[in-house]
Structure 1
Amino acid sequence: MLKIAVCDDEKIILEQIKRYVEAFEVPSSVDVYHSGEGLLMSGRHYDIIFLDIDMQGINGIETARRIRRSDKKVKIIYVTGYNDFASSAFSVHAFGYLLKPVKQEQIHRQLREAVSYTEQEAPVQTVRFETESGIKDLDIKEIYYFEYLDRKIQIKTDAGIYRLKGSITMMAEKMEKYGFCMPHKSFVVNLYQVKSLKGYDITMMDGSVVPLSQKKSVEFREKLSSFLARQI
């Protein structure tokens, strides 16, 4: 059974989407929330979330960012009356983007795609590192970046920071095939975890900021654009 949440501060829209989801061919349990705060406070994990963007209080983009801190797998489908939030939606790895008013078939199409993607998703991919605290098998998607600091490589992850000996350049070569890129001589970042790029500041999903050197700017921007295009 699918676990689905619908979050919208318009009662009519909320009830409408709930009816559409309940009419889907795959059995589902549906929870409804009138605000981003309510969804976050529930502490529940879902397979799919239909999420409004322009809500009172915490908007849908910020709600999704907070959800992503603990849940990288949930499929977030935005349902909104505005079409100028698309770029922000992709920054939180949104699965879909629907404009109001929505029809039942649109909701069902998104649900079918979400179910199909879930069934075909590759298992967690890990890479082994020999760190100062022992051998660690780290989920690639949970790594934010590598930083060369005090003659050691620091690995910034969801679970914390790990340190190991080595060359940051060799680390960049090792991780390139997993979607990592070197924007600065001291950093290697996970393109999957990039939230935004403004000027020469790369903001990661955890809020940390990584510098982009002028020398590597063109190459990094091209690789990031190519990576994002493959995610759409």
Structure 2
Amino acid sequence: MRILICDDDALIIEQLQKYIRNFFENISVKCPEMVCFSDGESLLADKGEKDILFLDIEMPGMNGIYVGKELKKKNDKIIIFIVTSYSEYLDDAMRFHVFRYLSKPLAKQRFFRNMKDAVDLYNTMTVKIPVETKQGVHTLPASSVIAVEAQGRKVTVHTTLCDFESIHNMQYWLELLPKNRFFQTHRSFIINLEHVTDFDRNLVHMSDNQSAYLTKRKYSAFKEAYLLYLESTR
């Protein structure tokens, strides 16, 4: 993971660095690389990976709205926090799907909550899982899994690439898949919330024309989990 900060206020950069270090200390994880910029031009010129970005709006030269849009064009997976005192830019920022909007002065506990959501999202997008079949082992991003379906003893992993017949049972997949992004809608289905297109009280429809049964007793819990997922990606 590589975290970037772009702000023309040195005190804000220092505060963000401190909060980021504190966050990773609290979860007992080594702090990732942090790179800081004071203007949008130098950020756009950077050739390194861009995973999580804290971006100011009012800066000399290019403003943060323009810079954020350009970065999203190059990498739509980048997780962008807008950090500003100017709430009037909120609508513009949301149009290019920023992750969260943080107001100055920064509130530490709110920062920690949002940082946890960002790290969870990053882990889900980047974590890879082994799909073991009788023919061999295929390593795939968890995000490419649409659903896991059981038909009797046969367990099929539906992915954006193709379907795989797993040698493992549903309990194995329940324990393996990230719980903040996958939900068991029925004893025969575990689905990826990222791929949901719509649902009713009986069925969940997903990308690639996939669908899964939704038991009535799980409808409320599924609805809540899905809405929380959507909130975490905004």
How far did residue 17 of structure 1 move? Answer: 0.9
- Counterpart position of 1:51: 55
Query: TM-score scaled by structure 1?
Result: 0.52
| 1:32 aligns with one of 36, 43, 46 | 36
1:90 equivalenced with 2:94 (yes/no):
yes
- Counterpart position of 2:13: 14
How far did residue 103 of structure 1 move? Answer: 2.6
- Counterpart position of 1:123: 143
- What does residue range 75-224 of structure 1 map to in structure 2 within 5 Å? 75-121=79-125, 123-124=143-144
How far did residue 61 of structure 1 move? Answer: 0.7
- 1:103-155 residue CA offsets vs partner (Å, 9 max, x unmatched): 332322221001122334452489xxxxxxxxxxx99xxxxxxxxxxxxxxxx
Distance, in Å, in 2 between the alignment partners of 1:66 and 1:109 is 27
- Counterpart position of 1:4: 3
Query: TM-score scaled by structure 2?
Result: 0.51
- 1:74-108 residue CA offsets vs partner (Å, 9 max, x unmatched): 10001100111111111111000011000332322
How far did residue 37 of structure 1 move? Answer: 0.7
| 1:62 aligns with one of 43, 49, 66 | 66
Determine helix, strand or coil for the equivalent of 1:24. Answer: helix
Cα contact 1:50–1:79 (8 A) shared by 2? yes
- Counterpart position of 1:23: 22
- Counterpart position of 2:76: 72
Distance, in Å, in 2 between the alignment partners of 1:30 and 1:109 is 19
Cα contact 2:54–2:82 (8 A) shared by 1? yes
Cα contact 2:124–2:143 (8 A) shared by 1? no
Judging by fraction of residues, say which structure has more helix.
2
Structure 1's unaligned 5+ residue stretches are 127-137, 140-176, 180-228
Distance, in Å, in 2 between the alignment partners of 1:24 and 1:8 is 20
Determine helix, strand or coil for the equivalent of 1:93. Answer: coil
Distance, in Å, in 1 between the alignment partners of 2:33 and 2:108 is 17
Distance, in Å, in 1 between the alignment partners of 2:9 and 2:85 is 11
Aligned residues: 134
Give the aligned CA root-mean-square deviation in angstroms.
2.6
Q: Which amino acid aligns with 2:143?
A: P
Cα contact 2:40–2:61 (8 A) shared by 1? yes
Distance, in Å, in 1 between the alignment partners of 2:20 and 2:81 is 13
Cα contact 1:77–1:94 (8 A) shared by 2? yes
Distance, in Å, in 2 between the alignment partners of 1:117 and 1:90 is 18
Q: Which amino acid aligns with 2:119?
A: V
Structure 2's unaligned 5+ residue stretches are 126-141, 147-159, 162-195, 199-229
Distance, in Å, in 1 between the alignment partners of 2:117 and 2:57 is 21
- Counterpart position of 1:165: none
Cα contact 1:21–1:28 (8 A) shared by 2? no
